[in-house]
């Protein structure tokens, strides 16, 4: 157990992810009473400095201090994280790829500095000195930020908004998943009622946002293609009846699981104007698919992809996860080689994040013999294959508890980038969301804060309290 004492306590939350990244597998408490702690980190704020030290059995190992101006909370937080980072590097003997940067939008920082008129060299200097970020990850963040700027220059995103539609059903729940999803086999009798409630929310929101420019629409989940063809068409028709699609630059449906895809469903998507889909194998290794609970075969992934092509889908993304149980470097390479044969327009590479609500985290004992590792070397492999497929990185985000302190990266061929991903993950515009577990996010003018409006995750409660869900949006 690691004991962390910070005085004052106001920055407790800000350092949790950083400490966890260094001391993987070790539990810790911040400002708790820990008896027989094998390691103690103490941080004290003095008049004009922050002083930190690491002790083992009351013996001081390392000490660091930094001058700090407490009038600016952001500067104070950055100074604290820099100090702790230096202490923990000395203690553990290794550095983190992203330095002390724990935020989920690394590309947002250089992007906002560009907006302030900084040159690239100035931005790089700030990023290195403030966050101790590695050259490799800094290059990635800069490349993504530049791509975002180029793509968004063609969109009236400041005046527009995006729409997210949540379908909380899946064929099965994957081992690592913490999203709002329910097995379609058990909830099949509720799907029509769910869509009825969802359309009621859609009708309200269409009236509320009438006159505003809609840029992108994203139907996600869950797995939207667990819906039957007639249900899919009913939902999409309701969207088009209540929103002006004349300004929509991208209409995505996350087909996701190949075992949910049929020719009839794909024809509905094509006929109703869906411009982008995602077929997500996560891995092309059958052994891993079986471990993580995806009840489909690698062959079904290929079949679903070719079926989508035959139905006229010309913008297909594929999701992969690096760090899955017992996957080796050769297995990651194999997945990328198989993706290259299919030749998708984009791939999204996720670093496995061990979420508390996933079966993988809740049943750690059951899976303790599984190795789940990721590294910069593995992420470099996926990046190289993406470049070999003619793709470049266009969006980037991070999550807590990512294996290897890595990231999620979207790669695509030119002109096939996922606009919704950029707009939503970069906090460039409001995202209005409908459906169970969907979260509306309305940005402040400076994009530094947001108002969030959520809906109930439970499907039965969402259906029964749909008027309340609508009222929550009525009040913002």
Provide the residue ranges of all domains of the chain, joining segments of one domain with +. Answer: 2-92, 108-152, 160-471
Q: How far apart are CA 401 and CA 353, in angstroms?
A: 5
Q: What confidence tens digit (pLDDT) does each residue in 131-178 have? A: 999 999 999 999 999 999 999 998 999 999 999 999 999 887 666 665
Dihedral pair phi/psi, residue 241, rounded to 5°? -75, -25
Please give the average per-residue pLDDT across 402-412, as a whole number: 91
Please give the average per-residue pLDDT across 22-42, as a whole number: 81
Q: How far apart are CA 187 and CA 460, in angstroms?
A: 10
Instruction: Kindly report which listed range (41-55, 242-256, 403-417, 428-442) carries the lowest average pLDDT score.
Output: 41-55
Query: How high is the pLDDT of residue 21?
Result: 87
* Residue linked to tokens 């990046």: 383
* Record: fold of 160-471: pyruvate-formate lyase- activating enzyme (3.80.30)
Query: How high is the pLDDT of residue 366?
Result: 55
Nearest to 138 by CA among 151, 120, 152, 153: 120
Q: How far apart are CA 145 and CA 397, in angstroms?
A: 12
Contacts of 275 (CB under 8 A, 6+ apart): 250, 251, 252, 315
pTM value > 0.95: no
Domain at 2-92: CATH architecture: 2-Layer Sandwich (3.30)
Decide the pairing of beta strands 49-56 and 439-443. unpaired
Higher confidence at residue 197 or residue 46? Answer: 197
* Residue linked to tokens 């052994």: 287
Query: How high is the pLDDT of residue 256?
Result: 83
Higher confidence at residue 294 or residue 387? Answer: 387
Q: What confidence tens digit (pLDDT) does each residue in 90-141 have? A: 999 999 999 999 888 899 899 889 889 999 999 999 999 999 999 999 999 9
Please give the average per-residue pLDDT across 407-433, as a whole number: 96
Residue 439, token pair as written in the block: 């979260």
């Amino acid at each position: 157990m690691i004991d962390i004492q910070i005085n004052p306590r106001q920055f407790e939350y800000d350092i949790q992810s950083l400490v966890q990244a260094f001391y993987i597998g070790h539990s810790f408490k911040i400002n708790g009473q820990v008896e027989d702690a094998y390691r103690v980190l103490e941080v004290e704020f003095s008049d004009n400095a922050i002083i930190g030290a690491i002790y083992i059995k009351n013996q001081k190992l390392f000490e660091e201090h930094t001058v700090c101006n407490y009038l600016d909370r952001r500067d104070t937080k950055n100074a604290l994280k820099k100090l702790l980072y230096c202490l923990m590097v000395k203690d553990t003997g290794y550095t983190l790829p992203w330095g002390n940067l724990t935020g989920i939008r690394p590309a947002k920082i250089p992007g906002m500095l560009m907006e302030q008129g900084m040159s690239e060299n100035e931005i790089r200097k700030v990023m290195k000195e403030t966050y101790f970020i590695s050259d490799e990850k800094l290059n990635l963040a800069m490349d993504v930020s530049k791509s975002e700027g180029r793509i968004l220059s063609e969109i009236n995103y400041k005046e527009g908004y995006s729409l997210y539609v949540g379908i909380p059903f899946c064929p099965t729940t994957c081992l690592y998943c913490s999203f709002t999803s329910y097995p379609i086999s058990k909830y099949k009798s509720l799907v029509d009622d769910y869509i009825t409630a969802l359309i009621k929310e859609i009708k309200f929101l269409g009236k509320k946002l009438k006159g505003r420019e809609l840029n992108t629409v994203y139907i996600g989940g869950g797995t939207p293609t667990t819906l039957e063809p007639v249900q899919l068409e009913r939902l999409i028709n309701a969207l088009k009846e209540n929103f002006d699609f004349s300004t929509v630059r991208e209409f995505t449906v996350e087909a996701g699981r190949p075992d949910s895809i049929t020719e009839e469903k794909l024809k509905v998507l094509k006929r109703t104007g869906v411009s982008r889909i995602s077929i997500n194998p996560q891995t092309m290794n059958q052994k891993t698919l079986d471990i993580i609970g995806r009840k489909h075969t690698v062959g079904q992934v290929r079949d679903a992809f070719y079926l989508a092509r035959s139905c006229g889908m010309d913008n297909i993304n594929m999701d992969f996860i690096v760090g899955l149980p017992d996957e080796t470097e050769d297995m990651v390479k194999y997945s990328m080689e198989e993706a290259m044969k299919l030749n998708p327009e984009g791939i999204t590479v996720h670093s496995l994040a061990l979420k508390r609500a996933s079966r993988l985290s809740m049943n750690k004992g059951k899976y303790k013999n599984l190795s789940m590792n990721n590294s910069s070397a593995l992420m470099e492999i996926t990046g190289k294959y993406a470049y070999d497929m003619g793709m470049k990185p266009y969006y980037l985000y991070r999550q807590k508890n990512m294996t290897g302190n890595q990231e999620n990266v979207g790669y695509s061929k030119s002109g096939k980038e996922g606009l919704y991903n950029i707009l939503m993950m970069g906090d460039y515009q409001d995202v209005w969301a409908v459906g169970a577990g969907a979260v509306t996010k309305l940005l402040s003018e400076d994009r530094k804060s947001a108002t969030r409006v959520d809906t109930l995750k439970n499907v039965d409660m969402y259906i029964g309290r749909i008027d309340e869900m609508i009222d929550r949006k009525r009040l913002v």
